[in-house]
Amino acid sequence: MYRYIKRFFDIVSSFLALMILLPLMLILTIVGTFVMKGNPFFTQQRPGKDEKIFRLIKFRTMTNAKDKDGNLLPDADRLTKYGEFLRTSSLDELPELFNIIKGDMSVIGPRPLLVKYLPRYNEHQHRRHEVRPGLSGWAQVNGRNTVSWEDKFNMDVEYVDNYSLIMDIKILIMTVKNVLKREGISSDTSATMEEFMGLEADNQEVNV
């Protein structure tokens, strides 16, 4: 039953959040324009429900600094102090409220990852796309970027099989607690999260 009213819950809650947070988002837009010396927004194609591609929007946290060969510098070198603040406070995610209203995302669901990961998933991992991706999810409140890719995907599929109103409310409450404690933002070996290369490569790199 909940799956039929989940979209209604998404629209109402995201509109209310926008009404409350719009002044803050305007301030971050202005500040970001100066700090990033240009466009304060970051957009990128991501796969959504049924692996349909949409354009995710966030506040930019990294510069476009490149090395002498024209390659982007590592994330840790491009992440600004302002960007680090946005990430640790999760404020960089606020523009995704527009993705939720549009219908690309849900408030709660598996996080939308990179399009290039799609051919690297096994059959089990592809199941994470049976629901809309979320602003927060079961994996995010159980370790976020500090758990292995394998565990993260297992939790995503667990959510797909068991989501309910009670579970979504529980994840929402846990999300607020984690944001306030600023936990799980980075992995143990990276400023963000290591690239997913497939399950075998993930086991070699993350679970050592």
pLDDT for 133: 97
Range with top average pLDDT, 117-126, 145-154, 187-196:
117-126
For residue range 42-80, what is the model confidence (pLDDT) as tens digits? 999 999 999 999 999 999 999 888 888 878 888 788 888
- Parallel, antiparallel, or unpaired: how do β-strands 41-47 and 53-59 relate? antiparallel
Above pLDDT 90, what percent of the chain? 67
pLDDT band (50, 70, 90) for residue 189: very low
Quote the CA–CA distance of 198 and 208 in Å, as a whole number.
Answer: 16
pLDDT band (50, 70, 90) for residue 130: very high
| pLDDT of residue 203 exceeding 70 | no
| pLDDT of residue 206 exceeding 70 | no
Higher pLDDT, residue 205 or 85:
85
Above pLDDT 70, what percent of the chain? 90
pLDDT band (50, 70, 90) for residue 178: confident
When the pLDDT of each residue in the chain is averaged and rounded to a whole number, the result is 88
Cβ-based neighbours of 65, under 8 Å, separated by 6 or more:
72, 73, 77, 78
Quote the CA–CA distance of 45 and 116 in Å, as a whole number.
Answer: 10
- Write out the H or E segment, with its range, that includes residue 58: strand 53-59
